[in-house]
């Protein structure tokens, strides 16, 4: 069994924030794989389903971001799972928009949601870092992540979320490379090998010069016409 948690803040006002991209990821997983309806549990919302042969619990903590560890820790203890059985989807300002990285263990890098999880569980859980870009200055970060994605972001964001839905069975099977490849295929689909280059028209060959059969007298006469 795996616990897959997405980080975010509850409520409609936060729904499209960059900080809520973790919620978006687990919502897409539930939708694409026919998980059970969401229900209230563990100070959050949970949905259950199967990915391949693995039973998976999806969780969206509703404790607000900086207390995410309360909800996730409660769920982990209830199912008697280890931190290694947990995968967390979260926003990452140190990655370009649309870039993903899979990581097992490590620090929280100042992310408030991860900081809370560290406090409850330690660092031995997996996480998917979902790039949302950086505003350029650290003082602008709080306002940046708590604003909605721009309209220009919608196309790549949808591609990434669809890729997550495609690849999540591989991720819960501990095949991180296959998961990332599935996302990459959505975000940057390969060009068709059947596409042929436009053929250039054949170069025009210079015509052969016409032989001049005139006599010297005719050439001289034509010169003064």
Farthest CA pair distance, the chain? 115
Nearest CA to 3 out of 93, 68, 67, 94 is that of 68
Nearest CA to 30 out of 164, 153, 128 is that of 164
Report the distance separating Cα 35 and Cα 47, nearest Å: 6
The residue annotated as part of the active site, out of 19, 90, 111, 118, is: 19
Please tell me what DSSP assigns to residue 122.
-
Q: Which residues of 89-117 are buried (b: 16+ CB within 10 A; e: fewer)?
A: bbbbbebebbbbebeeeeebeebbbbbbb
Helix (H, G, I), strand (E, B) or coil at 6: strand
Phi, psi of 178 (to 5 degrees): -65, -40
* Known catalytic membership, residue 19: yes
**Beta-sheet pairing, 39-41 with 44-51:** antiparallel
Phi, psi of 57 (to 5 degrees): -105, 120
Report the distance separating Cα 180 and Cα 197, nearest Å: 31
What is the distance between the terminal CA atoms of the chain, rounded to a whole angstrom?
102
Return the active site residues: 19
């Amino acid at each position: 069994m795996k616990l897959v948690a997405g980080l975010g803040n509850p409520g409609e006002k936060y729904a499209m924030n960059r900080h809520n991209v973790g919620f978006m990821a687990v919502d897409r997983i539930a939708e694409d794989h026919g998980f059970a309806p969401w229900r209230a549990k563990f100070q959050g919302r949970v949905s259950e389903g199967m990915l391949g042969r693995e039973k998976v619990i999806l969780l969206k903590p509703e404790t607000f971001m900086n207390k995410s560890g309360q909800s996730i820790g409660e769920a982990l203890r209830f199912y008697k799972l280890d931190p290694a059985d947990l995968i967390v989807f979260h926003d990452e300002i140190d990655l370009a928009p649309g870039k993903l990285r899979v990581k097992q263990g490590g620090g929280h890098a100042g992310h408030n949601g991860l900081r809370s999880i560290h406090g409850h569980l330690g660092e031995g859980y997996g996480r998917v870092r979902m790039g949302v870009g950086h505003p350029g200055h650290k003082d602008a970060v709080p306002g940046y992540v708590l604003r909605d994605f721009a309209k220009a972001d919608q196309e790549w964001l949808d591609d990434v979320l669809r890729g997550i839905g495609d690849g999540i069975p591989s991720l819960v099977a501990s095949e991180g490379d296959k998961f990332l490849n599935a996302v990459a295929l959505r975000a940057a689909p390969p060009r068709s090998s059947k596409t042929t280059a436009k053929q250039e028209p054949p170069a025009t060959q210079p015509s052969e010069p016409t032989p001049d059969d005139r006599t010297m007298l005719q050439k001289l006469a034509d010169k003064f016409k």
